[in-house]
Amino acid sequence: MRAVDIIIKKRDGHELSREEITFFIEGYTRGEIPDYQAAAWAMAVLLRGMTPRETTDLTLAMAASGETLDLSGVVPIAVDKHSTGGVGDKTSLVVEPVVAACGLAVGKMSGCGLGFTGGTLDKLESIPGYRTNLSTAEFLRQLKETGLVLTGQSADLAPADGKLYALRDVTGTVQSIPLIASSIMSKKIAAGAQAIVLDVKVGLGAFMQTLPEARQLAELMVQIANLAGRKAVALLSDMNQPLGQAVGNALEVREAIDTLHGNGPEDFEEHCLIVAAQMLLLGGKAKTPEAARTMAEQALADGRAWQKFRTLVSAQGGDLTYIDEPERLPRAAIIEPLPAPRDGYLARIHARMVGETAMILGAGRAKKGDPIDHAVGIEVHHKVGDYLSADEPVFTIHAADAERLAEARRRLSTALAWSDDPVEPLPLFYGQPIR
């Protein structure tokens, strides 16, 4: 077999066999197939697509490219959730402790921020001492002992995806539904998740901008999970405006702590309860959606979820004084409001623009390995549909210096659109869960 023939076959719109896909992924992982051929192949896949069968074979080949975890002897059922990436999406920090507090073990490997989207690892690293590089042995031990782990993706899991993702990032081949589906699912399968709730984001601040595309991605990922012998359910959630109020690492940790104390923004708490209930249902802890919802609400209301979060932070070496007194978390040098320029209804808070502004303030990386500033970010005080009077703050900007503050002001002003007529609020989710 030759890599060039496989590229040509896909370029001409034909279906690749399992053997061809496995040959390509194994060769690329070992460095025998160079980046330029993998880039040409990824572009051919982006332009020509893949059948569900090809996508499943690609997923399984990438999952098998490195170490795979078997959690069946560690916990009765390992449940995981995965978001396709958004702005202000600190859901894992709340949902995982809620679910673990209900007695369902959660072992999650998360990523760093990607483009304009934030990453759970970067957020957790705002807590001094918190380790995101647990070894596989530590991951398994903590999962067994505490029922909750939130750490980084081990480099040994699905290394083919690691290589391919970095290549896609710089060759204009991220936005391919089969490549995104296989990238996400290969990591979940390699990490041993037996049941997965997929939070597929759709809108201005998501990789999938339209509902039909998001639905296609969601259905494909559920299909792949089932073919790989895992249970899965996918939710389609809105990412036109940021989720909750906080965008930026320490700000998001603070908001997650507020939410775990029952004082979080309404939209974010509701989003977390819906995702948590789906995890409890899928993991078999509750028989009906209503029972799952009540269970999640109780774990939040009686403080068990908060205690579970403390146990997690302590187990991973984090200094508890920073979460018990969140005002000690990193704080930016300049904190200034951005007022509404006029009276009116908010018609748009462009999530991607807000995410990009947070990156420019220093909350994310311009290139791999760049340091990030945990303190900076943006508070978003309103939702689409709110009526504001001129001069009421829409945002509060947390910046390290005056230059970036000015740039953030300029960018955030263009993220907003206004209307004189009432504007419908945006939904949190679209349609029913996809199974």
* Contacting residues toward ligand URA, per CB under 6 A: 84-85, 165, 174, 179-180, 183-184, 207
Residue 189: CB minimum distance to ligand URA, A = 13
DSSP assignment of 144-199 equals HHHSEEEEEPPTTBSHHHHHHHHHHHTTT-S--HHHHHHHHHHHHHHTT-SEEEEE
Burial of 327 (0-12, 13-18, 19+ CB in 10 A): exposed
Q: Which residues contact 126 (CB under 8 A, 6 or more apart)?
A: 249, 250, 253, 329, 330, 374
Q: 132 or 259, CB closer to ligand URA?
A: 132
Residue 327: CB minimum distance to ligand URA, A = 33
Residues facing 223 on adjacent strands: none
Q: 198 or 253, CB closer to ligand URA?
A: 198
Q: 207 or 309, CB closer to ligand URA?
A: 207
Other C-beta atoms closer than 10 Å to the C-beta of 76 total 12
Residue 187: CB minimum distance to ligand URA, A = 6
Residue 210: CB minimum distance to ligand URA, A = 16
Q: Which residues contact 381 (CB under 8 A, 6 or more apart)?
A: 245, 393, 394, 395, 396
Which residue minimizes CB distance to ligand URA?
A: 183
Q: Distance between CA atoms of 81 and 108, rounded to whole angstroms? A: 8
Q: Which residues contact 234 (CB under 8 A, 6 or more apart)?
A: 197, 198, 199, 200, 218, 219, 221, 222, 433, 434
Residue 174: CB minimum distance to ligand URA, A = 6
In whole angstroms, how far apart are CA 198 and each of 11, 141, 169, 240, 284?
30, 26, 22, 18, 17
Q: Do the strands 377-380 and 334-339 form a parallel or antiparallel pair, or are they unpaired?
A: unpaired
Q: 84 or 311, CB closer to ligand URA?
A: 84
Please tell me whether residue 378 adopts helix, strand or coil conformation. strand
Catalytic residues: 82, 161, 168, 183, 187
Residue 186: CB minimum distance to ligand URA, A = 9
Residue 262: CB minimum distance to ligand URA, A = 31
Q: Is the separation of the CB atoms in 181 and 213 below 8 Å?
A: no
Q: 112 or 233, CB closer to ligand URA?
A: 112
Q: 208 or 397, CB closer to ligand URA?
A: 208
Q: Distance between CA atoms of 376 and 358, rounded to whole angstroms? A: 7
Find, among 229, 344, 259, the residue nearest to 88 by Cα. 259
In whole angstroms, how far apart are CA 157 and each of 195, 196, 201?
18, 17, 24
Residue 123: CB minimum distance to ligand URA, A = 16
DSSP assignment of 66-131 equals SB----TTTSS--EEEEE---SS--HHHHHHHHHHHTT--EEEEE---BTTB--HHHHHTTSTT--
Q: Distance between CA atoms of 238 and 117, rounded to whole angstroms? A: 14
Q: 38 or 127, CB closer to ligand URA?
A: 38
Q: 91 or 183, CB closer to ligand URA?
A: 183
Element (H, E) at 49: none
